[in-house]
Structure 1
Amino acid sequence: MKLSAFDFDLPERLIAVRPARPRSSARLLLAEADAMADRSVSDLPDILRPGDRLVLNDTKVIPARLSGLRHRSGDAGDTAARIEVTLLEPRPDGGWSALVKPLKKVRDGEVIAFSDALSATVVSRADGQALLSFNLTGDDFDAALADVGAMPLPPYIAAKRPADEADKSDYQTYWARQAGAVAAPTASLHFDGPLLAALRARGVAFTHVTLHVGAGTFLPVKVDDISAHKMHSEWGEVTPEAAAEVNATKSAGGRVIPVGTTALRLIESAAVDGRLEPWTGPTDIFITPGFNFQIVDGLMTNFHLPKSTLMMLVSALMGVERIKSIYDHAIAEEYRFFSYGDASLLLPQGAPD
């Protein structure tokens, strides 16, 4: 298919730069088969059925944006350069791959100081990225990063305002516990304690999985023929317990509904012959129209960027023309878009076109 099939015009005023408060007061566009209804996230206990299971991504966003100084001595005396770093992903050897700006201002072996406690040595540079080795590890690294790092807001928000203290809680899910993401699973940002309690009382069950969302989630698709696009890889885990819970729900006739495209991509990566299997490792699954969904019966998700891989995913679930009508309705009704925006609940009830 052509990339243009997933394009649409979005008024800039509909791009949310702050979340709804409280979280569950965000609007929810319910799209079930051929019907649509304008609801609220707080209505989920009335919409979902006893026996349904929500699959939740428990990744935790790290404050991955850092500002530091590189010092250098020379014939002209000591000089310093301000260096901006965005952590991308941890490496097996304990280092981090990172975007460094300006990359030309650093050399291999130089140290970037972010605070009195935290610094990193530039190990190598390649393909517009750097490999960094930090002076701290484990809990000491996490604590120092929390002190000086900023949340890695998506580019379309960061272009409008800098990250601030509110984002450290706003851009984190209620159940975040496995540190490692540099972007939030944003559909999950709509949930809070009272909503979860109401869903449990309704008989809705929850399963936690982990997919560490990488910065590649914001990379644009640059090919006209989408089959030529290469997805970025992200690390995920489905525990044996999580797989057993999902399979039990399927066997009992309940619906399995991931909250967010990250949870959906992970469980479909781990699907074998219609069952969910335990999984640990990277996935670069690319879901486009024609994909055979094995596990999911629906999806709760925010509204996505034009021509993005996530637009392709929701089109695969609901059908290309159906998604176009859903997004036309969302724009006409002025739903708020993207990471801090409103949500949709997509329930295909049948094969997409």
Structure 2
Amino acid sequence: MTLVMIGLVLLTDLKENRLNNVLLIFFVFFGILLTLISKNSSFAKIGEIKFIIKYLVLFPSIFYIAYWVIQNYKVDKFIEMIEKVLVAYLMMAFFLAIYPVSFLYNDRGELSGFQGTFLETGWFALVVGSFLLTSVLLRLDFKLKFSKWQYILYFISTISIVLSKNKTVWVSLLLILLFLIIIKSFISNRDIIKTSVIKLINFNSFNLVFLILVLVLVFFGVNSILEDPIVSIAMLEEKIQDERGKAFLVAINLLQNSNWIGGYGFGFIEQYFEVYTDEIIGLGGGSGMIFNSYLDIWISVSLIGLFFHILLLRISFSTSHLFTMIIPFYWFIAANTNPAIGSDYYYLFLGLSYGFIIKYKKELSI
């Protein structure tokens, strides 16, 4: 389906002489380069071809399609489409919570939360959070009205994210909310976002620190009275000693052994943990990536792979809109705690952000 869509999109742009040659060259160049780095590795790998296809074809296609949609659709129509997709995800999540269909639902006992068709609560919460933020931020950016049904949709979305029991996404959304509260207080009807950011930078540092401390104290106050706290000492100890912290040390050891170059190849991580004897929660046979996406890509296809992803974030980030600031930041946080760069949604939302950046530049040049 993706191949058909990108074929039609490229033919349309070619016919109308609107092909984004720079973007295509960027993806083709790095796709081939990362493939050569992976193929040059002599280490054993599992499913290398899967990653090569993704970097050569799938991820560039998704990014370009997302960019193209923004160039060709009106903002209000695009937001309506995003909100309808969000409704569909939520309906499916509630349906599966009541009637868990075996091949669509991953039953994890007490750990089971809302997961929709994603099979993992973390992915469900992360993607729903992205669609929720997209709707809110674009309505703020383009001064579109919020109706009652939008508020209901946001409320249900927030509840579903909480019901997912994924605390990593909760923390990400709280950080985003903190940023929104601060920056929104600097935006007047006549201000553009970039001016507001400058105001924020020039804001009295004492007041900013005081505001952050108050919000942190409120968070810990609420956290301490919850029966099942969002953050606890036991949870942090488990994350550090048996899960992400332990995986981080393994990743650092692999990089040290390669003189900090990496380049073990796509699929090496899965092969490595297939035979790794010391248990790490969440990693083992079948684990294609580690928790930190950027460490993973560094290990797999060297510093060049890391450089590619930093460039991708850079071209997708701009202070022209709240959306183009916060969405890349949101996925950057996610990629540091999850294997997010292996997900289609990572490239979808970065592509949307890049699309708005290009569209804004075109409007300024008219």
User: How high is the TM-score relative to the length of structure 2?
Assistant: 0.27
Which has a greater percent of strand? 1
User: How high is the TM-score relative to the length of structure 1?
Assistant: 0.27
Which has a greater percent of helix? 2
